[in-house]
Structure 1
């Protein structure tokens, strides 16, 4: 009996597989890496959801989340017209309107703990969920879904398998071709692509669409993007030049030139952390990633390194550090953040901390317009007060472009017509985020559209493939 094929084992693929199995349909998941999880397993800031029982800010709503998303998306979204504008609008409406349900599904049906909520850049309210325990949200979510899938006799995971082609016959996708080591093969069935973006494809798609980003480090491993596989069967690609440069990837003092960086999660700033250049703050740390990155590139000093890097520091107090839990344990273990007494810092930074403490306590307004300070608790800045300092730089992080899909996760042709037998979800798709993605919406996108893709593929399978198990 033919299975439904899922390409990629990140959160979008796992969410799709979870839904397909509820229909008692077999799944074969093909993962090119040696281990499952993709980039999703590394996600560190959380997943957006509105409304949820964990939100303390009752002013939030799906409509406000939608407004924040459209504002973040910028001109790419606002300047679209006709059917393309309607397509983008429906995607955003589906994402934001389904966000509370997505978080509830993970918590109530998959047993993921997501009770801590914080406000990230570009958001009007605290709506980004993560757990209070030691696991980062990406690892907690992905490992929970993997564990639930392993128990099903209808689920098969194959790692080290690179999909090399999509098979299309009579205007319908009917399978994929692959390489596994030296062995080539083919699997027949409907296909869900959940293979991720191309931010690590520096010499391929990134060089083709954004040559101006050459030399900037990335949070992604160097693997080729899979969008051309979809393009080869007629899929329309949109927004391929829209690449998110995250403002904060850690610069490891032991390997300053490293081309792949560990992300300094946006939650560091969401919980109260600040960014400084020469000891001085220079931006509202909770502006959109696009804005913060632009100010860094404009105002900060370039490091004299082979890779393109800028000289910026992130600073947290003990309150912010405590709220970050396992993040801090990992960053300190890796030596990416270092503990210091205020009296050991340069005078400019000491002065900055005193000014910021006054802003947090409400004594003065922030000159950069920041109004949310997470769990920052340092109000009396004494020489023996403890802070944590790390060096960061902008990094290529996420690609907003990819295969065009509709709100049913169906891959669309260049003419806007659904391609039979083909769905996609997650970063391999385009058109949802415009020119800037809000933090916390990548995991959300994977859950919302991954589940939709799974249900849609299952419905198609039941109608077009025989011998479905009862």
Structure 2
């Protein structure tokens, strides 16, 4: 007799599932993997999720600036007036967009055209607050959504989806388990081989596979050294761990953009441990809400440019690398009370960790006083900005005085995100060297390549996870049900 389960899915719909339902293997428990798993469970399909870390969530848990979406009802201005997300993303992709243009256009169109639907899915079906919207660097319109509370958006999404999934009998999670091989005995992927911490014998999990294993930004001595040896010595916002793309190339996956590594321009230099090669990210929204960058008291770039442009401007400055320490620069990130009021949950956390301090302009020196006076005049609309910055967020300090309160930290560029990975189709199918999809294998998130090109816009990492996580979940569901095209 068939065992039937009545389950409540993340979208609060009821699905009848049977013990004869096949299982889909999801590798990686960041937002991409959890979104894929949630989508599969909503179809009544069993999910076996494997995570190599001791705790689920991946780097998605750390994401603090928000998730892009356009057009949405939460954005400022006339309703649904933001039609520039697609163009902004192509511009951000840079010159590589002209290579494999058809494939890139398809991926970017999927990302941007489904962004508003992704926001609605998170809000309406999962109850996640995304009511606050900010404009980040490289964007021509405010479109990066986050919640009004103190929980960072990445943590909010991960915890909400994970809690819902754990309530389903169709969902099984194994942590501290590393996939060592993708099984492909014929033309179709049939599962994975994995081993868990403390065990000596590998196990097999059988079924179609979704890879959501993330990038290789923490693989300093492995893949990072292989593809970008010039970045040797840079700090990273990623924990040290090997990249996982080789698991997929063994079964024929094609790689794209592996040399495209995003250096985030602002990661904190911890005064208590300045030479630590693993840095804590200074969220993009700090600049988006009005934050200004100073070197020796002077501005040197439009802080609202793309991450690549800002990083390039910083690395042209003299480095402050200490012997035995990582390559880093001594740049000040300065915020006023207006920025604090609109990003207090972040700033309070940074203050608590000792990564930021509350001070006055007098403590920054004479050059900084003059610089901030000019910046404040531009922010108030009384003068044009010398670096052509157009958006000043919520900076409200207009009458600059020596005792004006500011929030200050020291930041430096750090390896943050890998734009390269396995090539996928717009359906999330992993593509082989001949350009054909590998049946039974999909990928989503940072493990893939081709979505971002030379630069990833802030807020598009979480978006990529949700959009393509939903896509691969739907495609894997069709595969299991025998409904694939």
Which TM-score applies when normalising by structure 1? 0.96
Distance 1:57 1:433 in 2: 27
Aligned to 2:9: none
1:370 paired residue among 371, 377, 389: 389
2:93 paired residue among 50, 56, 73: 73
How many angstroms does 1:241 deviate by?
Answer: 0.5
Distance 1:176 1:387 in 2: 52
Q: How many residues align?
A: 461
Aligned to 2:129: 113
Aligned to 2:244: 226
SS at match of 1:281: coil
Aligned to 1:245: 263
2:113 maps to 1:94: no
2:176 paired residue among 160, 168, 181: 160
Q: What do the CA deviations read for 1:36-82 (whole angstroms, capped 9, x no partner)?
A: 000001001100000111101338656410100000000111x21xx
SS at match of 1:260: coil
Distance 2:346 2:156 in 1: 13
2:437 maps to 1:421: no
Q: Report if the CA contact (8 A) 1:133-1:325 is conserved.
A: no
Q: Report if the CA contact (8 A) 1:240-1:400 is conserved.
A: yes
Deviates more, 1:1-10 or 1:281-290: 1-10
2:365 paired residue among 346, 357, 361: 346
Q: Report if the CA contact (8 A) 2:82-2:141 is conserved.
A: no
Aligned to 2:189: 173
Question: What are the residue-to-residue correspondences of 1:373-412 with 2, within 5 Å?
Answer: 373-412=392-431
Aligned to 1:132: 148
Distance 1:162 1:219 in 2: 22
2:220 maps to 1:206: no
Q: Report if the CA contact (8 A) 2:73-2:80 is conserved.
A: no
2:72 maps to 1:52: yes
SS at match of 2:112: helix
Q: What do the CA deviations read for 1:296-336 (whole angstroms, capped 9, x no partner)?
A: 00024433342100110100001101111211111000111
How many angstroms does 1:464 deviate by?
Answer: 8.6
Distance 1:355 1:390 in 2: 20
Aligned to 2:338: 319
How many angstroms does 1:343 deviate by?
Answer: 2.6
Aligned to 1:185: 203
Larger relative contact order (CA 8 Å, sep ≥ 6)? 1
Distance 2:364 2:255 in 1: 49
Q: RMSD across aligned C-alpha pairs, in angstroms?
A: 1.3
Distance 1:17 1:149 in 2: 8
Aligned to 1:265: 283
Distance 2:79 2:173 in 1: 43
Deviates more, 1:111-120 or 1:301-310: 301-310
- Structure 2: gaps (5+ residues): 1-19
SS at match of 1:111: coil
How many angstroms does 1:86 deviate by?
Answer: 1.1
Q: Report if the CA contact (8 A) 1:244-1:436 is conserved.
A: yes
Aligned to 2:300: 282
How many angstroms does 1:381 deviate by?
Answer: 1.1
Q: Report if the CA contact (8 A) 1:60-1:125 is conserved.
A: no
SS at match of 2:482: helix
